[in-house]
Amino acid sequence: MLFIGICGASGSGKSTLAEALRRRLGERSYVLQQDAYYLDHSDLPFEERKLVNYDEPGVFDHELLLRDVRALMDGKAITRKRYDYANHCRVDSEELIQPRDVLILEGIHCFHDERLRDLMFLKLYMKVEPDICLLRRIQRDIKERGRDIDGIAAQYLTTVKPMYDKYIRNYVSYADVIVAGGGHNARIVDILAGYVKDELGGK
């Protein structure tokens, strides 16, 4: 199995690139979202869950993610992890994810854990201007995650921007490839898909 990591700021196009690459590679590939591995805070009242810093590295269950990636790389199935963004809690399922030839992980802190980085065949970093990322985040959070503009603005100022400055912008130093302009880059998708297929024996 080839394990690919896609890291970058929220709204930088990680999911878009991951899905475009998956479509090019077909059924032999699978995309895993680091967001599905947020630690569960369902024991907290909703108002307290809203105040959790969801942009710092410690909010993810790195051990569970590492175990799942290692299991897939060892040819074993895992159960699907899910996260409910509107209610800020985990909603895992018993659905099985089978190993594929290519595993793509995307997330803001997917380069944080050295053990996970060491398993990656290819590390991609999305380099996009912060104001563009913010605009994309606003559109996504309103349409897909049930957020309002005041909540998005407060979260951006208190956690998103500070955590980007402290952690995420520095992950670029771990990258094998820097992708500029976001995920809608047909040329980079062609190049990456061709490279991965060559590594798989040209199939």
CATH number for position 101: 3.40.50.300
Nearest to 136 by CA among 33, 5, 8, 23: 8
Does pLDDT of 143 surpass 80? no
Predicted confidence band of residue 153 (pLDDT cuts 50, 70, 90): confident
Can you list the positions of beta strands (E) in the chain? 2-8, 29-33, 78-79, 83-84, 89-90, 96-97, 102-107, 122-127, 177-180
What was the pLDDT predicted at 203? Answer: 60
What's the rounded Cα separation, in Å, for the pair 16 and 151?
Answer: 24
Rounded percentage of the chain residues whose pLDDT exceeds 70 = 98
Q: Give the separation between CA 51 and CA 76, rounded to whole angstroms.
A: 36
Q: What is the 8-class DSSP label of residue 180?
A: E
- CB burial of residue 20 (10 Å; 0-12, 13-18, 19+): buried
pLDDT at 30 over 80: yes
Binned at pLDDT 50, 70 and 90, residue 198 comes out as very high
Q: Is the pLDDT of residue 93 over 80?
A: yes
Alpha-carbon gap, residue 92 to 98, rounded angstroms: 16
pTM: 0.90
Residue count (the chain): 203
Domain count, the chain: 1
Question: Per-residue pLDDT for 31 more than 80?
Answer: yes
- Provide mean pLDDT across the span 178-182: 84
In the numeric block, the tokens 């399922």 are attached to: 93
Residues β-bridged to residue 31 = 104
Query: CA 131 to CA 122: how far, in whole Å?
Result: 27
Tracing tokens 């302009």 back to the chain, one arrives at 181
Q: Which domain holds residue 10?
A: 2-199
Q: What is the pLDDT of residue 202?
A: 66
Q: Are strands 102-107 and 177-180 parallel, antiparallel or unpaired?
A: unpaired
Confidence of residue 135 (pLDDT cuts 50, 70, 90): confident
